[in-house]
Structure 1
Amino acid sequence: MEFNSLQDLFLLLISSAIRRCICSERLCRLSVLLQRSAASDPPLVCISISDTGLGSCLEEFQDFKCPVEGILAEQWDGIVSLRTTNFCDNEISCYQLNLKENVTIREPIWLPSNVKHGVKFSGTEVRLSVSEAVDVLLAEINCFFQKIRILKIPNVAMEVVVECQDIPGSRNDAVFLENLSSSSSFTASTLDHLKLGLEDYVSRHGSSLTCDSCFPNRDNLKSGGGMICEEKRKTTTLAVEAAIVISELSNPTTNCLGARFSDTEVFCFKDFAPCSISEAFLKALRGIDWKRYGLSLESATNQRSHALLKWEHVPLSFHIHIVVHCYQKLVAEVMPLVQKTQFDKKLISKAVKLALDDLKNKYAGFLLSANTLKASRRNQVKLTAS
């Protein structure tokens, strides 16, 4: 698993923590702590990513590949410190890994373990120190968590905290994302959570607060979802979920930028983390027969963090929002190793089409194809003439 920037590394570490929490099937907390020290030269930020999910295993980090040259090499020495334990363990295992080691199998540096004294808990903490401005790190991490909210993971509460080591007791909650809301349910499917999370994202125009001017309620939101699975191994199945939310604003607020554009942003998640758009993903979107749903696709372009779809003859008050999530679905009790999910163009197209079909079936007379509309008009003319 290669990464070329601190942002890529955070994605891997945080998404691994989220996956451990999901696999635990318990209420969990994920915390990201940024401790800055202005006294050091250059200024260092100690980053701690901790979770209360299943304990991690060494194999999760053995496959990480870090470049030994470039900007990342100057910002970070490659050392990660880990503490992890499972419910059945009597101790907390502690060790370090040098991710810059160019070897087939990295040997950990084992540190003294911590005795748990009979207390039953599980979790993992990963720590590393980097040379970077805390504001830059915070902006990237906040952006990551704003997107993660779309998944609306029901059993994980998340927080990001900034602390200044040079000032004892100094603590500032930068962002706290409490996902254990009354609208979330353990019995609901991941697809239901995805649809609800996308509705929340749409009602906020992608920011942190709901736009009450455009969305005083959710009556003008129509949502649909589709999911398709394909067995890949004996223990895992590739799952692709798609959620679509369409909003029709009868009187969009003039000063609301989120309501002025009819282009569609398509977000993609892979293994519970936002990911960049691939050419296979774009081909999957272009290959959909959008005209069957009354839409005419003008172009589909790669904006790195999302795909941008432009439509022909779509009013500014009509907005389509799409999110796709590809992940390995566990079908047996195995350790949640970092997955190497590959995009499957056919499965992505099928999942999006299932979501569009779901919308058509739930809302009669909605997303009708051009041929259906023509036939409907002919029938109306015949009825009027008779």
Structure 2
Amino acid sequence: MEVSSVQKLCEYLISCATQRCRMTQHYCRLAVVVVVLKYDRHPSLRISVSDTGIGSSLEEFNCLKYTTLTYPASTENWDGMMSLTTTRINDNEIYHYSLNLNETSSTRLTKLPSNSKNGTNFSGTEVTFFTSGIALKELKCFINKILVLKIQNIAIELVVDNGGPSRSHCEQILKANECAASSESNIERLISGFEDYVLKHGNILDDKCVSCSSSGCPLKVGSGTVCTPEHKKNTGMVLEAVVIISEILEATTSQCCCTGYDTRTEVLYFEDFSPSEITQGSLNALSIINWAAYGLKLKGITEKDGYGLMEWDNLAPNVHIGIVLHYYHEGEIMMPSDMKKARAGKSITGKAVKLALTDLKQKNSGVLLSTRAKKICSTYAPDLARTVAGLVVSSCDTKFQEECLSVLGLKIDQVEKAEDVENRIKAMIVSVIERNDTTNPKRGSREAASYLFEENCSLEPADFLDEEYCQEEEEE
């Protein structure tokens, strides 16, 4: 594996430490400590990545290649040297090594004198090196993304020591997250972690945004999970997708909010419980989803700094959409250097995202209505309600009026004006349209639709759909 910057090297080391902690299946602590050693134009830093996982097998460093950035703006200053301390639970000693990533594999690793564990049982690894080429903001961003997964039994923290004789110079940038044993599934923890990420606006805030969390609009969440069939070659692979829609009430939009609500969606992508660059297959899948079926119009999608960046044409200014994808091998724990070549493609990604969108749509009435359903609700439903209400109200047959109003759940003495009847009929029409706004209607393939009144109509649900619309949806 080739690493082209100190920043990427830190991310690789943190990913490896995360996997070592997962392998223990017990409570673990992962700490990233950055110590500023001197002050000048480019301060010298000591970076330490430590974990209480199973201990390093050293193979993960043998394949690691470091390439210094060559562009003029680079501030990297590192000789490729690292020190490694590691031990496994059954080892009697703590082993020390010196590594030079600029050397060939046969000379890069030098074993140093070890220390006795004196009969104690513990395991862990610590990697330390000195450099000047790292951005704490980007490092915090990477760790924040790991926290989205809420990996069970792992506490993660980032500490920056600005030097000096007292601990007052030490700043805990990210506190250790809660990591108690939980019966929640991976997807449930992913939903919870992504909700926290959205309310903190990603990496901008350490705490929940007051404007968003107190706006009175709860997050609208949908999730979908797709597993590859057992007869496929890549059996045991899972892709989880979570879609969150957050909204700020008009009354609170004037308040200071760091989210910068705009028409873009940042798509987070993970592979095997590690942040990763989004795959081209996943980008392609997102670009060909029939977004109109969810009332959205995709303007474009690009890749930027490993993220998928989606831009919408018709998103309200106070609404934001967040998407996270996690692709992993079920039952397997692999180091970043050993991750398989098979990656999430169009089929599995598209299915998972559409399941998440449909789940969100079913849980939240009136949300993600298709373009067609929106047109019916705004254009045809009011006219139809007005016409039917006019027939009822203008009738001279009192018994007929009472029966009609009874079907609507009204009594004749409750109706003061025709608009009351019209609004009730309109609400019932819109409710039925919302409940039956499926993303892929096909004749004879779905359950009977809900009807406006108690008496069921003899028509099949698909008969209310025009032939052209059905053909368009089936082509998706």
Q: For residues 1-386 of structure 1, what are the structure 2 equivalents within 5 Å?
A: 1-38=1-38, 44-67=44-67, 70=70, 75-103=77-105, 108-132=109-133, 136-163=134-161, 167=165, 171-180=169-178, 186-206=182-202, 207-216=205-214, 219-230=217-228, 237-251=236-250, 252-254=252-254, 255-258=256-259, 260-331=261-332, 336=335, 338-341=337-340, 342-374=343-375, 382=384, 385-386=387-388
Are the aligned partners of 2:93 and 2:114 in contact in 1 as well (CA < 8 Å)?
A: yes
Distance 2:25 2:354 in 1: 30
Of Structure 1 and Structure 2, which has the larger fraction of its residues in helix?
2
Q: 1:38 to 1:358 in 2, by over 3 A?
A: same
Distance verdict in 2 for CA 1:335–1:198, change over 3 Å: closer
2:459 matched residue in structure 1: none
Structure 1 match to 2:444 = none
Distance 1:168 1:353, change over 3 A: same
TM-score, normalized by length of structure 2?
A: 0.70
Counterparts in 2 of 1:385 and 1:276: CA distance versus 1, 3 Å: same
Using a 3 Å threshold, how does the CA distance of structure 1 residues 189 and 318 change in structure 2: closer, same or farther? Answer: same
Matched length: 378
d(CA) in 2 for partners of 1:380 and 1:42? Answer: 66
Deviation, 1:191, is: 1.4
Larger mean CA deviation between 34-43 and 310-319 belongs to: 34-43
Given that residues 92 and 116 in structure 1 are in contact (C-alpha distance below 8 angstroms), is that contact kept between their aligned partners in structure 2? yes
CA RMSD, aligned part only?
3.2
The one of the two structures with greater contact order (alpha-carbon pairs below 8 A, sep at least 6) is 1
Distance 1:272 1:305 in 2: 16
Identity %: 39
Render the CA deviation track for 1:194-244: whole Å, top value 9, x for unaligned: 111111122122221211222227752111112223379999843322111
- 2-side partners of 1:74 and 1:196: how far apart? 37
Assess if the C-alpha contact under 8 Å between 1:2 and 1:64 holds in 2: yes
Residue 41 of structure 1 deviates from its aligned partner by 12
Quick one: distance in 2 between partners of 1:227 and 1:64?
Answer: 33
SS at match of 2:337: coil
TM superposition shift of 1:34? 1.8
* Structure-1 separation of matches of 2:289 and 2:385: 34
Query: Contact between 2:241 and 2:323, CA under 8 Å: does it hold in 1?
Result: yes
Residue 4 of structure 1: how far off its partner (Å): 0.4
| CA 1:366–1:247: 2 relative to 1, 3 Å | same
Unaligned runs of 5+ in 1: none
Structure in which a larger fraction of residues adopt strand? 1
Deviates more, 1:12-21 or 1:204-213: 204-213
The CA distance in 1 between the partners of 2:39 and 2:212, in whole Å, is 47
- Cα distance in structure 2, aligned partners of 1:363 and 1:235: 35
TM-superposed deviation, 1:359? 1.0
Q: Which has the larger radius of gyration?
A: 2
Alignment check: 8 A CA contact 1:154 1:180 kept: no
Question: Cα offset for 1:163?
Answer: 3.1
Q: Is the 8 A contact 2:6 2:76 kept in 1?
A: no
User: Does structure 2 retain, via aligned residues, the 8 Å contact 1:154–1:179?
Assistant: no
Q: Deviations over 1:124-170 (max 9, x none)?
A: 111112234xxx54223222222222222232222222335674767
Quick one: distance in 2 between partners of 1:209 and 1:355?
Answer: 27
- Taking structure 1 as reference, are residues 21 and 220 closer, same or farther at Cα in structure 2, changes over 3 Å only? same
C-alpha separation in 1, matches of 2:258 and 2:114: 53
Equivalent pair of 1:146/1:208 in contact (CA under 8 Å): no
Cα 1:168–1:247, aligned 2, differ >3 Å: closer, same or farther? closer
**Aligned to 1:18, what secondary structure does the other structure show?**
helix
Please tell me the residue identity of whatever aligns with 1:369: S
Structure 1 266/40 Cα, relative in aligned 2: closer, same or farther at 3 Å? closer
